Chain A
Amino acid sequence: MILLTPTKLYTPLTDEAIEKLRVGQRVLLNGVVLTARDAAHKKLNKLLELGVKLPFSLQGTVIYYVAPTPAKPGQVIGSAGPTTSSRMDIYTPRLLALGIKGTIGHGKRSHQVVRSLKKYKSVYFIAVGGTAALITKSIKASRVIAFPELGPEAIHELIVENFPIIVANDIFGGDIYEEGWKRYALKS
């Protein structure tokens, strides 16, 4: 199942590229990634409920669940590792319907999200939680594109080079967690 050689991906993600991905595949992501976590998700959801056009298009985008630390002088961005994805689960299916092709966080997703990933042909990737200092090295540029009032939770556009992620849920219903637990759980 697990392919150790990473594959390079470039944004915007195409269906063709996504169809080739399987659970466990290491990926080096290149291109544009948008950040959004709890507060930004809530705001996007509110805009959708009100029928207001979103400040940017989600078509073909990759969303990274992160709120970085402030950049030190000379840094593009501070430490920027993934946050727990499950808090975003309630908002995710609705946003996937708008064309998001990839989400990045850490931790298992809900059944509803896994079903929606299949339905909308979108992949859930994970970055290693708690390795923010390492991950930051692959972020080359950062600027706020929406909700600056949210501070660290504002939506940033990041330019990434060889950003290290792993496919956790592919579009065929595969789930890295379910498969991993089955393999390593000891029966008592």
Chain B
Amino acid sequence: MLKHIQAQTITDNVARLCQEANYCLGKDVLTLLLKAKEEEYSPLGKEVLQQVLENARIAREELVPLCQDTGMTVIFVELGQQVCIVGGDFTKAINEGVRYGYKEGYLRMSVVEHPFKRKNTNDNTPAVIHVEIVPGDKLKIIVFPKGFGGENFSGLKMLLPGEGKRGVKKFILQQVKLAGSNPCPPIIVGVGIGGTFEKSALLAKKALLRKVGEPNPLREIAALEKELLQDINSLGFGPQGLGGSITALAVHIEIYPCHMASLPVAVNINCFAHRQKEVIL
């Protein structure tokens, strides 16, 4: 039995989620920010986190963007194989949602149509869309407006298998050090280990989709996440990089099988303005 979903329904939902994501910081992030404010050693760091929480309240109550960088819109779709999209083109429906959502929501248009010519598309499209076909008759859409303060300091390295866990940790820490004060700490660090070149990058981004602070279900990976969070918070960057004990709110790692000749690792950094909303149709 096929389930029909109208393209317009997709457009409407994407538009709504673009706005909700940019106005309302998730409970998971807010909880960790509150905890960070309690635990932060630096008085200036505490003051910064107080401003961050106050800002989130204003954005939520007044329905205005949390941050002026309302992102390039990354959209993850889980498409049930029994779903049939009717009444329009799927990709167009998503981009139409972004176009409408950004315009009606007074969000900033940050996308340029050509990497060198750099002319603004004036509607924040195209979105970056990742589709996965899954069993069932549901359509899940996650809207993840990605700010580029963090995105610009992300990185990837093809390590040698012999470099192992130690090499992976070293690279992740190097990347966080390189980012320093730039990506608006406290940051959330998404890591992808394994797969191919592009698979590790996608895993790193997908790691950011997890409820913030929730550990990987594999005990060994959860332990690695914990160690890395400690190491990152020992760097002393602190909130906004002004010095302090909370540089990251969480480290999320996803792994995947890889070729016997390689150990890819990708680090995708996000700022505390970690905006994500989803719907299941």
A residues near B (Cβ < 8 Å) are 2, 4, 24, 39, 66-72, 75, 78-81, 83-84, 86, 106-108, 126, 128-137, 151-152, 164, 166, 176-177, 179-186, 188
Q: Is the CB of B122 within 8 A of A69?
A: no
Question: B41, B122, B183, B271 — which one has the most chain A CB atoms within 10 A of its CB?
Answer: B183
- Residues 59 to 108 of chain B near chain A (Cβ within 8 Å): 59, 62, 64-70, 106-108
Q: Is the CB of B242 within 8 A of A132?
A: no
Contacts A24-B44, A75-B64, A86-B182 known; 17 new A-B pairs at CB < 8 A = A66-B68, A81-B67, A129-B184, A130-B67, A130-B184, A132-B66, A132-B67, A133-B55, A133-B64, A136-B64, A152-B110, A177-B241, A177-B243, A180-B241, A181-B243, A184-B42, A184-B238
Q: Is B126 an interface residue (CB 8 A)?
A: no
State which of B52, B120, B244 has its C-beta within 8 Å of the C-beta of A184.
B244
Pick 18 A–B contacts, CB within 8 A, sort by A. A69-B106, A78-B65, A81-B67, A83-B69, A107-B241, A108-B180, A129-B67, A129-B240, A130-B52, A130-B272, A134-B55, A134-B58, A152-B109, A180-B42, A184-B237, A184-B243, A184-B245, A185-B235
State which of A4, A126, A130 has its C-beta within 8 Å of the C-beta of B66.
A130
- Residues 100 to 133 of chain B near chain A (Cβ within 8 Å): 106-110, 118, 120, 122
Rounded to whole Å, the gap between the CB of B100 and the closest CB of chain A is 14
Q: Is the CB of B68 within 8 A of A81?
A: yes
Q: Is the CB of A134 within 8 A of B242?
A: no
Question: A24, A136, A166, A181 — which one has the most chain B CB atoms within 10 A of its CB?
Answer: A181
Rounded to whole Å, the gap between the CB of B176 and the closest CB of chain A is 13
How far apart sit A80 and B66, CA to CA, in the bound complex (Å)?
9
Q: Is the CB of A184 within 8 A of B236?
A: yes
Rounded to whole Å, the gap between the CB of B270 and the closest CB of chain A is 11
Q: Is the CB of A131 within 8 A of B51?
A: yes
Complex interface: chain A residues within 8 A of B183 (CB): 84
Rounded to whole Å, the gap between the CB of A144 and the closest CB of chain B is 15
Residue of A nearest to B60 (CB): A133
Q: A68 with B244: in contact, given A79-B67, A130-B67, A132-B66 (CB under 8 Å)?
A: no
Q: Is the CB of A2 within 8 A of B44?
A: yes
Q: A181 with B149: in contact, given A80-B68, A128-B51, A134-B51 (CB under 8 Å)?
A: no
Rounded to whole Å, the gap between the CB of A153 and the closest CB of chain B is 8
How far apart sit A84 and B150, CA to CA, in the bound complex (Å)?
10
How far apart sit A185 and B242, CA to CA, in the bound complex (Å)?
11
Q: A107 with B182: in contact, given A67-B68, A179-B243 (CB under 8 Å)?
A: yes
Q: Which 7 residue pairs spanning A and B have beta carbons closest together?
A: A180-B243, A185-B236, A184-B236, A131-B55, A129-B184, A186-B234, A134-B55
Complex interface: chain A residues within 8 A of B44 (CB): 2, 24, 166, 180
Q: A79 with B235: in contact, given A177-B180, A179-B243 (CB under 8 Å)?
A: no
Residue of A nearest to B62 (CB): A133
Question: A79, A106, A134 — which one has the most chain B CB atoms within 10 A of its CB?
Answer: A79
State which of B70, B184, B235, B244 has its C-beta within 8 Å of the C-beta of A69.
B70
